[in-house]
Chains A and B, each alone.
Chain A
Amino acid sequence: MTLFRTSLAAFAAIMIGAFSAASLSPAHAAGGGTKPPAHDWSFDGPFGTFDRAQLQRGYKVYREVCSACHGMSLMRFRNLSQKGGPEFTEAQVRALAADFKISDGPNEQGEMFERPGRPSDGFPKPFPNEQAARAANGGAYPLDLSVIAKARNYERGFPLFLLDIITQYQEGGPDYVKALLTGYEDPPKGVELLPGQNWNKYMAGNIIGMPNMLNDGQVEYPKGPDGKSPVPETAKQYAADVVAFLMWSAEPHMEQRKSIGRQVFIFLLLFAGLLYFTKKRIWSRLPEHAPGAAH
């Protein structure tokens, strides 16, 4: 090995080591949370895309279950028809929005009034403020879910965190939330839970204010041509679907990002290749680089 190659390798190792050390740091899996199993998401990897039907089902789960406690303040109904998302039709979105009563105003008389929701409205908040939300949930706060899929992660450890660069593992958040939703268990012997507390295998510290929210058969899925839902109506499936929906809401332009990325990356590699051969050609004018010279 030449000095150049050794040092290049060493520099690469140092750089990768140093900058990746950051991701070693525990984000939310601190203390007591079991590492979640990896789920096979349709949106992982450089070619990943969202499964429209899954996102539509996920919205239904959010709407019928989670929205009782959790808001999604960054979402508007019109987002539901935008490209790269669940891609409901505009008529469907109008109907979904009209499902809600929105407080608007003041009108010309200076009074607030209620009207059916419109696509330009934001998802309504379940509680007027944090205090009301806590009061209704035994003191725990059901946080906003708009970017939750990116706001959670778990420690990967060495050497996985380095391999993640190559495998492009980015689904720590979705894996965690999916595991959490189906991770309820009886507390171990000797642990006394206070009223409103629940035991979850994946929650940091294991004690969580949110009770198990997903049960088999609870949400009715759209039927296929044979009169049956194409996917099982189970808690596991609900969890995967709602998490896919949450991942999309956290990263609504992911599909565009990856598709532009593939083009840019391949273009840059080809361009670099051409430049390399041009460089060789130009440098071959120098005696030490002339063909046949010692190199």
Chain B
Amino acid sequence: MSGPSSYVPKLGIAKWLDARLPLPRLMYDSFVAYPVPRNLNYFWTFGGILMLMLVSQILTGVILAMHYTPHATLAFTSVEGIMRDVEYGWLMRYMHANGASMFFIAVYIHIFRGLYYGSYKAPREVLWILGVIIFLLMMATAFMGYVLPWGQMSFWGATVITNLFSAFPIVGETIVTFLWGGYSVDNPTLTRFFSLHFLLPFMIFGVVILHVWALHVTGQNNPTGVEVKAVAKDTIPFTPYATIKDAFALVLFFAFFAYFLFFIPNYLGHADNYIPANPAVTPAHIVPEWYFLPFYAILRAVPDKLGGVLLMFAAIAVLVVLPWLDTSKVRSMSYRPLARQCFWAFAVTCVMLGWLGSRPAEGIYVTLSQLFTALYFAYFLIALPLLGLFETPKKLPGSIAESVLGKMKGGSGAVVGAAAPAEPNTKG
């Protein structure tokens, strides 16, 4: 999609720079002239939202780091000092803590969008895998960030999760000692987590650049899953169309963010993390942050520790090979009646796993966790490989333009959500 550049520098200085470092040209081609499919719906605005959330996390994080003390005896008090004595420190801290949750809400919507519209399929495999890498880095960052306030959940969450690595034969113990910087979670663990928590977001930033680069090579997928055929007919320029739509969605998302941040800032957190870390007292229930719960449920579904750890990693690894597991040529689930039902069953499965992750690992909860873990993997390993072979997809529109404009000519009076210019499903 990144065809010949249409940038024409006008000012003398712009021409001068263009001949030496064509940065304005890159910006122009990427964010002004860049052609986007004309039928994108609002699920396509989450990429931009994620970009801003990353910037927001880095800005608030850098300010927090100016006032935070990474030491086992001082970390908790320094975070409380931020909340009380630093001007607008409470704002920075609540923005950062709730921002992490918003970041994950956005990334989950973004991922499910990709799953539904088949955005992982050729030629977007590398783009998709880069996304999975960002997701992994985000999880590592958030996990280590949660340790920094050094409350009870920080400490015990870190203990439980780092202990998982001891399940690996032979090297396990060495890895754990290495993570801890000693023989238990203690000050060396906190200081190395702080250092890495500072570093990883910038690595995420780097991978995001690759992700966007890959996007601009293949172009965006769209709700029909039909590739752009004629740029003039099927696409519209990024500016002003996508810019204004993204801006609207972004501001709406920030209103949602603000609601949590200002009115219920501790809703997504855990009360126990306002108790200073105490290695002598284990909390009644150790639960990770909400965004890890589905994976936590998979981990605990297996009675064997190593098995649980492997399965948990497999739950993410399976996303990497997904482009080759889905055998269907049709991208969008809108044209795959059976696969679509499986998709929604999968979505429900993820919610159930999230719920189970928050329950104690006992009795019926374990059985249910096993059932839903099986369903989770079944979607990738059974449903998607087989459906591509047996399912008869619905007829695809000839082109994006036809799916949008054809409907108009057909004069179907169907009222389409303002948000979804293209509504292939209501067609005819």
Contacts and interface: CB of A to CB of B under 8 A. Distances in A.
The finding on whether chains A and B are genuine partners in a shared complex, rather than unrelated, reads yes
A279 B421 CA distance: 13
A24 B290 CA distance: 10
B141 interface: no
B267 A3 contact: no
Nearest to B112: A11
B334 interface: yes
A278 interface: yes
B90 A24 contact: no
Interface stretch (B124-132, B255-263, B373-381): B255-263
A25 B354 CA distance: 11
A11 B109 contact: yes
A290 B244 CA distance: 17
A264 B84 contact: no
A22 B293 contact: yes
B262 A258 contact: yes
A2 B420 contact: yes
B254 A21 contact: no
Contacts of A74: 77, 80, 84
Contact of A19 (B101, B334, B407, B419): B101
Interface string A14-28: 110111111111111
Given A286-B38, A287-B408, A4 B289 contact: no
Nearest to A17: B351
Contacts of B80: 74, 146-147
Given A22-B270, A24-B358, A173-B271, A268 B258 contact: yes
A147 B268 CA distance: 17
Contact of B351 (A18, A146, A293, A294): A18
Contacts of A272: 248, 251-252, 255
Interface stretch (A49-57, A59-67, A150-158): A150-158
A215 interface: no
A258 B358 contact: no
Given A4-B423, A152-B271, A168-B264, A18 B411 contact: no
Contact of A4 (B268, B407, B411, B417): B417
A7 to B, nearest CB: 7
Interface string B239-278: 0110011011001101100110111111110111011000
B350 interface: yes
Interface residues of B, number: 81
A286 B39 CA distance: 11
A27 B270 contact: yes
Contact of B272 (A11, A146, A151): A151
Contacts of A265: 255, 258-259, 262-263
Interface string B284-297: 11010111011000
A283 interface: yes
Contact of A3 (B94, B254, B423): B423
A282 B240 contact: yes
Contact of A165 (B101, B251, B264): B264
B285 A25 contact: yes
Main secondary structure of the interface of A (DSSP, over half): helix
B416 interface: yes
A275 B267 CA distance: 29
A95 interface: no
Which has the most chain A C-beta neighbours within 10 Å: B258, B272, B348? Answer: B258
Nearest to B256: A268
Contact of B407 (A46, A252, A294): A294
A28 B259 CA distance: 26
Given A2-B416, A18-B294, A282-B241, 14 more contacts: A2-B425, A3-B425, A8-B417, A14-B108, A18-B354, A25-B270, A28-B284, A46-B263, A260-B262, A261-B262, A264-B262, A272-B255, A280-B418, A288-B407
24 contacts: A2-B420, A10-B347, A14-B108, A17-B355, A18-B290, A19-B101, A19-B268, A21-B358, A22-B293, A23-B290, A46-B263, A150-B266, A150-B274, A151-B271, A153-B271, A173-B271, A260-B91, A268-B252, A271-B251, A272-B255, A275-B251, A279-B248, A283-B244, A294-B407
Interface of A: 2-5, 7-8, 10-11, 13-15, 17-28, 30-31, 46, 73-74, 79, 146-147, 150-153, 164-165, 168, 170, 172-173, 204, 250, 252-253, 257-258, 260-262, 264-265, 268-269, 271-272, 275-276, 278-280, 282-283, 286-289, 293-295
